[in-house]
Amino acid sequence: MKKWIILLVGLCSFTALAGCSLIDKIIGERANGIIVYGNEEAIKAEVSPVKNDLKSFHLYETKITESNAEKIMIMDKTTADALFAKGLFREIKDEKSTPIHSLPTVTKEQSVLFAKDEISNPEIEGKSYATKYEGNIVIGSSRHHVDSFMIMDHEVYQSIKGENTTLGVLLFKKASKPETSMTSFKELSPQLITIIENKE
């Protein structure tokens, strides 16, 4: 029993001195943020009660449309770059997710698609778009709210009608627990996430 107590005290001391949580590495990443999906005004209203718990709060514009009866979230390269900088694009492999190291190249002639299964040149709003499939990549640690994600050149993105949908990305202060704030979002679709703070 004494050995276990000594080991536990030593582990806690090392964690405090290291400045990063060894326990996190043992039990897995801890969520430090939330993404909410909806319209901008609704997001601002529902974020208001938890704003004192936040370290940062950003809004990003996207569009949602359908292709082959599946929902696709479309964003331009600028938005994708911002989400990537927070470590939010993650590849699903062997039922685990890890942040991707770079974003694929996007041009006016070719968009990029992240989806569970490969789709060749999806048809959107009656038009086929040249698209390069880049793997089973999601926002956060799991597929949420939509079936796939497409990154387009800004000019091409502007030509898509779709349903305007705002992403609210909330980074919580270290003393706050985002999971306890999930119930605050009654009209939105919240998702727990891990934001890479040194990229924030």
- Read off the pTM: 0.82
pLDDT band at 91 (very low <50, low <70, confident <90, very high): very high
**pLDDT at residue 119 in the model:** 87
Residue 132 class from Cβ within 10 Å (0-12 exposed, 13-18 middle, 19+ buried)?
A: middle
| pLDDT tens sequence across 117-148 | 998 899 999 999 999 999 999 999 889 999 99
111 and 153 Cβ atoms separated by less than 8 Å: yes
- The average pLDDT across 142-165 equals 95
| pLDDT tens sequence across 27-76 | 346 899 999 999 999 999 999 999 999 999 999 999 999 998 899 999 99
**What does the mean pLDDT of the chain come to?**
86
Block residue for tokens 């989400």: 83
Distance CA 200, CA 197 (A): 5
Side chain identity at residue 20, one-letter code:
C
Q: Pick the residue with more confidence: 21 or 187?
A: 187
Q: Which tokens belong to 19?
A: 């400045």
Q: Which pairing describes strands 96-99 and 89-93: parallel, antiparallel, or unpaired?
A: antiparallel
Backbone angles phi, psi at 196, to 5 degrees: -75, 105
